[in-house]
Amino acid sequence: MVFASNAIKSVDNEGEFSESGNIYNSDESYSVTENIDPTYARNQMFHSEEQTAEDTLGMMMGSDVYMQEPEMKAIAFSMLNSIGGITVKLAYNASHPMQYDANTKTILVSDTIFNHNDADFVSRAFLHELTHAFTVSEYQNNSKFKQRIDKLFDKVSQRFPTKEYGRKGLYYGLTSPYEFISEIYTNPSFRGFVLKNNMSWW
């Protein structure tokens, strides 16, 4: 999820799209909590209520809770050098589990996410938001990049119309070009789905 200064769009937890705010929401679904203590889960991600994205990702990668899948670990590792200048904040009374504010370059993490979501969900949502953080401005300012993304996005989303396929689960990445980018980076199933449908790559 992203707040951007122009191109203002919003996607809520239901995967619906609205023009009401500068928001791109990452998280199409909640998972059921595993047997991890919420306070422990929180302390494995935050050493203070506001910290850098490098700190956050480093803590998660060093924990025994997050980024446990090898593929997720690899994605996280590949991002470590691209996330300078991004802040991560615990948010209270947040409307979404996680969101990215492009105006302040801040990822907001709801304090309740640790009560209601499993560690894989939190890991994947964080990688998804990080991807927004380093690709939104690229998409907005690099017209060649935007063209390539838009072309691919249009192709795939036209092949899988919203009416028949909805925009949840696997199809969440077809919500908007922004979600498309983040899901391709962070969701192996979605990446496989795009490749399987013989789409040209950028």
Tell me 43's DSSP state. H
Closer to Zn ion by CB, 110 or 182: give it.
182
Taking alpha carbons only, the member of 31, 52, 28 closest to residue 115 is: 31
Binding window for Zn ion (CB under 5 A); candidates: 30-38, 63-71, 152-160, 176-184 = 176-184
Phi, psi at 13, each rounded to 5°? -60, -25
Please answer whether residues 180 and 173 qualify as being in contact, where contact means their C-beta atoms are separated by less than 8 angstroms.
yes
Encoding tokens for residue 70? Answer: 């090898």
105: left (phi over 0), alpha (psi -120 to 50) or beta: left
Site for Zn ion in 23-62 (CB under 5 A): 24, 26
Closer to Zn ion by CB, 38 or 91: give it.
91
Compose the 93-112 pattern: x for residues touching Zn ion by CB under 5 A, - for all others.
Answer: --------------------
Binding window for Zn ion (CB under 5 A); candidates: 51-59, 83-91, 146-154, 178-186 = 178-186
Closer to Zn ion by CB, 1 or 174: give it.
1
Binding site for Zn ion (CB under 5 A): 1, 24, 26, 179, 182
